[in-house]
Every structure is written in C-alpha cells, then in structure tokens.
Amino acid sequence: MKKQNEKLFTILALVVLGVLVYLAESNLDAYKLRILNLSAIYVTLGVSLNLIYGFTGQFSLGHAGFMAIGAYVTTLLVLPPYYKEMIFILEPLVWPFTVMHSPFIVALLLSGLLSALVAILVGLPVLRLKGDYLGIATLGFAEIVRIIANNIPQVTNGALGIKGIPEFSNLWWTVGVAVFTIYIIKGLINSSYGRALMAIRENEIAAEVVGVNLTYHKVMSFAVSAFFAGVAGGLFACLITTIDPKAFMFVMTFNILIVVVLGGLGSITGTVIAAFLFNYSLEYLRPVEAGFSIGPIVIPAIPGLRMVAFSVLLLLVILYMKKGLLGGAEFSWKGLFQFFRKIFPNKKSSEGSAR
Amino acid sequence: MELLMDLLNIDNITMKFDGLTAVSNFKLKIAPGELVGLIGPNGAGKTTVFNMITGIYTPTINKIYFQDQDITGIKPDKIAKAGIARTFQNIRLLDNLTVIDNVMIGFHLHLKSNLASAILRLPNYAREEESIYHKSMELLEKVQLEKFKLEKAGSLPYGQQRKLEIVRALATGPKLLLLDEPAAGMNPQETKDLMGFIQKIQDDFNLSILLIEHDMKVVMGICRRILVMDYGVTIAEGNPIEIQNNPEVIKAYLGVDANYA
C-alpha cells in the first residue's frame, strides 16, 4: 500500500464520517445523540489518558481534575455576563470572570491550555514518583481540584454548580475534537518524541542513558494529555449543560480508566472502540438496575448495579486479555485490506469500504 | 608521555552507600582511542564505577572529568549527550519495541526538529526521521540484525540482544563506550566474534572503550591496559602480562594458600 493511497483513504473515511455525523444530527433523537456525543468525548478522554498511561507508562489518575478545570473555564467563558450575574447566588462572581466572554472554540482552547499549564506545574514535582505512588499523588491532585471548586463559590458557585450552560456541544464538535485528538496523539507517538515516551515506559534507566531527558518527556506527555482532558471537560460541560464539583469525582477518572484498559494500554484503536462500547453498554445495562430475577432468586432494584457488571467485565479483560479487546492491534489501511483479502481470497481486490 | 588530552579523567573518586564503601579512591585516565579493561571478582565495584561515570550515581567524594569538563552529578541524559554511552550487565533493551526502534531511540538526543514539527510530520522532521532510519539500518547491518528489524527486541536470542544493545549505544554517537560484560552468556565462537567486533567498532567509530569482563580471554586478548579491582580498591594496573603475574591479582581471584601465607 502506498503512502499516497493511505492518505486518500483516510480523507475518504473522514468524508464518510462527516456524512454519518450529518445524518445522525438530522435524524436521531436527543437520547441517541447524547450517547453518541458522550462516546465521542470519552474517545478524547481515553486517547489522552492512554498517552500518559499506556504509552508513557506513567500511572495517572488525575484526568477528572483536568476535566474539571476545562469544564469550569469553558463554562465561565461561554456564559453571557448578564446570566452569570443571575445564577451566582452564594457569593457574587468576582471580576474578571464577570466580564469575560468568548466564542466556544476559544473557550475550549483556553480550557486545554490552562489544564496543560496546571499539568506542567503539578507534573514537575509529581512525575518524579513512580507506579502506584504517582497514581495516588495524581488522584490526590484531582480531589484537590474538586474540593477547591467546592470551596470557591465566588468563581464556581460552589456545590450548587452552574446550570443553564449553553448547549454548544454537538456531534460536529465532539467528533471533530475526537478526530483532532487522535490525529495529534497518533502523530506524537509515531514520532521520535513518541519513541522516547515508549522508551521511558519500557525501561526508564535505559531511556535515560541513551539520552532521553526524563523530566522533559514525562511532563510534555502529561501536559499534552491534560490539554485534551481539559478540552473534553469543556465539551462535557456544554453537552450536559450543568456542572458541579460532584461530576468530577474519582469515579469519572475510573470510567476513563475502564475505557483505556478495555481498549488496551497503548492501543488507540482499542480506546476508540472501548469508548463507544462503554457508553452503549452503560445504557443497555440500565434494565439491570431496575431489578430482575434469575429463576427463584429475585434481585431487587439497586442503583449502580451496572457498574458491578463493568467491574466483572474489567476483571475478565485483565485476566484473559491483558492487551485489551484488540490484543494491542492498531488499525491501519494495510491491515484492513489484508483482512479483506483473507475473507474474500478469490476476488483480486475488494472494494474500499471505509469502516 | 601524555601528549594527548585525556578523554576521561576520574580523579580519585569514592562512592559510599551509607556505611558501605563500594568504591574507594578510584583513579583512571583514558586517552582517546584507548581500550581499557576493568576486571575483578564479583562485588568489587566495577559496575558502580560505570554507574558513576554515566551519572546514575554521583560519587560521594571527588570528581569525574570528560574532555576536561566536570560531569560529576550531571544527569545521565546530559552525559549521554556529552558522548558517553554504555551497555548493561543485565541487558536493558526496550523489550516491547521493535529492533529498529531500539536503535532509532539512540538518535533522539541529537534530534533538531521541535515537538510541533514532529507531531505534524513537517518536511524538515520527515527528512530527519528518514535519515535516522537509514543510519539505524546501517548500524543494524553491522551486526547482521537488519532482517529482524521489525521483531520485538525482547524476542531476540540472548547473544543478539547483547549486540543490539551495543548498536543502540553506538547510535548515540559516543566518544567513550562502556561495555559491561558483553561476553556474558556467549559461547566460545560468539565470544571470538565479539572480540573482533569490539576492535572493529573501536576503529570504525574512533572510540575509547572501557570494558568490564569476566572472560579473561577477551580482556587479555584485546585490552592493552587492565585495571583490577577488589573490594572497591584498585589493586593492580598494567598490561596483560603484568596483570597475569601480579601476586595481588592472583590472591584476589584464587585466594591464598594457607601454607604459603
């Protein structure tokens, strides 16, 4: 397969994706659109967490914190000033937030940039830690963000949260950002810098003695990851239209972690599939929570039971599919065509059906 | 006869871990193009010397100079950039990456393209990556590993992993190469090939080499100068014949006959 052809197929696939998004936007009901939007946001979240955890090998549990930063920044920037005056009941909103206002895309970018900046400041000391210790420290960071958000009502409206955020997020935004995230992170990991990140994952000492600057590369990976988590947080706020600190509890991080582990550490394709699988299963498993009976055993309605089902699924994947659902395989046009050739050995070349 | 500037000058360094003195008063000068052997029984402190030179440990007392620059306490990646590369006694490859990636990573420290142009694969980066790929393939050809370029490094047989690790070290463009027991686990034929290979890369890349090795045939065969350590102390230094006949060395390796003492 020639490089030129691959590029052509990619563009073709993007056009098809665009048509699909258009069809979905104009035909599907709000409920179905919500699940698709959430899935697309989870793609962004999952792929960005995979960068720092799957590719760089740094166990970070701070994603909900970066999401929260992005969500609040976007919210404060897109809400019209007169509306802000109305909803901040606990304490009046402080200047300059009262007058700040920007278009959605600027708000998203600033959300990402602020998250990345915080990631650099937090990452410089914290990324010296390894393994579980880093996990605990980053989890602590996310909790600190949430508690701060709870306690500065003059900026965040405290535990009351902010309601009535304009619903800017639609499939064009969420899928567009997901595609952009994949493009950037794929570009990063396929470059020499990405090789350095994977070298750190494989063997830190070996990476260091061949000249990989550990601090720079770890912090860079952490910041890029946080950038996209921040942008996803902004999209999330403008999709749900209401945010409060409770939305960014550690459960949020674990949801993303489930997506990453299901899809496979270090597999972007797997993460994309797992993001959709996760959100759709959450919906399909809803009846489980309504209570049911297995023969004579009656299971009462227990809210949150579907998460138990997920725990079981996660356990099975960890036990039997260590590399995730796809076994670490990555999508490529070459692989796709080889697959088609295997299925249809007689045909000389099969039609290039995208996706 | 010190006409040439010393490439490496280790000035009486001592390394203490709490109460334990792993290396004491270690002195070594290496001139450009020299191949020096470092031998001694297990636990003598040889690898600790390597770890100090490459910045993994900082000597407790005194300093290390490389090309007249003080490199004591500098981070390993900066030392690699200055021109010191090494291999490890217990091989440290990037097991889940391909063989070619294991070599290409060595060129990362000389990368000129910035992060943005690498992510977007701009022409200047694409050219650089291309040339890194070709240089890496050339290096792999030197050790006949080019046909395994897409295999995972961890799946290679032991002897080839050792060779790959040396090639990765060469990719960083070193002036001084530290080899930590390169012949360990090799059969006699592989060892013989390795001796030739070490001498060849020394000539081809204009290298100085410091070699830790237990296989005396290798050390005596290719090193003109040998240092012997025991319990952290340098007990002898000289050419192979001097070393072989040095009573201190014989004592360290074979122990002393009770009657003889």
Return the CATH number at B150.
3.40.50.300
Q: For residue B1, is it within any domain?
A: no
pLDDT digit string (tens) for B182-212? 998 888 888 998 999 999 999 999 999 999 9
**pTM of the complete model:** 0.90
pLDDT band at A354 (very low <50, low <70, confident <90, very high): very low
Q: Give me the number of domains chain A comprises.
A: 1
pLDDT at position B81 = 95
Rounded distance between C-alpha atoms, residue A140 and residue A146, angstroms: 10
DSSP label at residue A55: I
Closest Cα partner for B215 from B180, B176, B251, B177? B180
Q: Which residues of chain B have pLDDT under 50?
A: 1-2, 261
Q: What is the DSSP string of B140-191?
A: HHHTT-GGGTTSBGGGS-HHHHHHHHHHHHHHT--SEEEEESTTTT--HHHH
Rounded distance between C-alpha atoms, residue A55 and residue A185, angstroms: 10
Selection from A220-224, A307-311, B13-17 with the highest mean pLDDT: A220-224
Mean pLDDT in residue range A122-147: 94
Q: Is B66 on the interface with A (CB under 8 A)?
A: no
Q: For residue B259, is it within any domain?
A: no
Identify the three-state secondary structure at position B227: strand
Q: For residue A313, is it within any domain?
A: no
Closest Cα partner for A173 from A119, A115, A111, A220? A111
Q: B83 with B174: CB under 8 angstroms?
A: yes
pLDDT at position B261 = 44
Nearest chain A Cα to B170, which residue? A210
Domain that holds residue B128: 8-254
Which A residues, 210 through 229, put their C-beta within 8 Å of a C-beta on chain B? 210-214, 220
Which one of B56, B105, B111 has the shortest CB-CB distance to A210?
A: B105
Q: For residue B57, is it within any domain?
A: yes
Q: Are strands B176-180 and B208-212 parallel, antiparallel or unpaired?
A: parallel
Mean pLDDT in residue range A65-78: 95
CA pseudo-torsion sign B224, B228, B232, B235: negative
Distance from CA of B246 to the nearest CA of A (A): 35
Q: For residue B110, is it within any domain?
A: yes
Q: For residue A286, is it within any domain?
A: no
Q: How many CB atoms lie within 10 A of CB A132?
A: 9
Q: For residue A196, is it within any domain?
A: yes
The two structure tokens encoding residue A345 = 């050995």
Nearest chain B Cα to A197, which residue? B105
Q: What is the DSSP string of A152-164?
A: -HHHH-GGG-B--
Mean pLDDT in residue range A314-319: 84
Which one of B96, B104, B125 has the shortest CB-CB distance to A195?
A: B104
Distance from CA of B119 to the nearest CA of A (A): 4
Q: For residue B132, is it within any domain?
A: yes
Q: For residue A280, is it within any domain?
A: no
Mean pLDDT in residue range A43-61: 95
Which one of A195, A206, A209 has the shortest CB-CB distance to B108?
A: A195
Q: For residue A153, is it within any domain?
A: yes
Q: What does each C-alpha distance from A172 to A17, A76, A227 come to in angstroms?
A: 10, 22, 19
Mean residue pLDDT of chain A comes to 88
Q: For residue B2, is it within any domain?
A: no
Distance from CA of B21 to the nearest CA of A (A): 23
Q: For residue A199, is it within any domain?
A: yes
Which A residues, 167 through 196, put their C-beta within 8 Å of a C-beta on chain B? 184, 187-188, 190-193, 195-196
Q: Is residue B147 exposed (0-12), middle (13-18) or buried (19+ Cβ within 10 Å)?
A: exposed
Nearest chain B Cα to A196, which residue? B105
pLDDT digit string (tens) for A239-290? 999 999 999 998 899 999 999 998 989 899 999 999 999 999 888 888 777 7
**Looking at the predicted structure, is the pLDDT value of residue A314 above 60?**
yes
Distance from CA of B27 to the nearest CA of A (A): 23
**Looking at the predicted structure, is the pLDDT value of residue A341 above 90?**
no
Q: For residue A344, is it within any domain?
A: no
Q: Is B85–A192 a contact, with Cβ atoms under 8 angstroms apart?
A: no
Chain A residues in contact with B108 by the CB 8 A cut-off are: 192-193, 195-196, 199, 210-212
pLDDT digit string (tens) for B71-105? 998 999 999 999 999 999 999 999 999 999 999 99
Chain B residues in contact with A202 by the CB 8 A cut-off are: 93-97
Closest Cα partner for A51 from A237, A187, A251, A216? A187
Q: For residue B260, is it within any domain?
A: no
Chain A residues in contact with B113 by the CB 8 A cut-off are: 192
Q: Name the strands in the sheet holding B61-66, side by side, starting at the edge strand that comes first in the sequence.
A: B20-30, B8-17, B61-66, B69-70
Q: Give me the number of domains chain B comprises.
A: 1
Distance from CA of B37 to the nearest CA of A (A): 21
pLDDT at position B257 = 60
Rounded distance between C-alpha atoms, residue B165 and residue B99, angstroms: 10
Chain B residues in contact with A205 by the CB 8 A cut-off are: 56, 76, 88, 92
DSSP label at residue B37: E
Which of B88, B94, B120 has the most A C-beta neighbours within 10 Å, making it the best mutation to test the interface with A?
A: B94
Chain B residues in contact with A220 by the CB 8 A cut-off are: 115
CA pseudo-torsion sign B136, B141, B143, B149: positive
Q: Is A187–B119 a contact, with Cβ atoms under 8 angstroms apart?
A: yes
Domain that holds residue A66: 13-249
Rounded distance between C-alpha atoms, residue A216 and residue A223, angstroms: 10
Which B residues, 69 through 98, put their C-beta within 8 Å of a C-beta on chain A? 75-77, 79-81, 85-86, 88, 92-97
Q: Is residue A348 exposed (0-12), middle (13-18) or buried (19+ Cβ within 10 Å)?
A: exposed
Q: What does each C-alpha distance from A219 to A51, A223, A267 come to in angstroms?
A: 12, 6, 21
Q: For residue A290, is it within any domain?
A: no
Q: Is B108–A203 a contact, with Cβ atoms under 8 angstroms apart?
A: no
Q: A355 with A16: CB under 8 angstroms?
A: yes
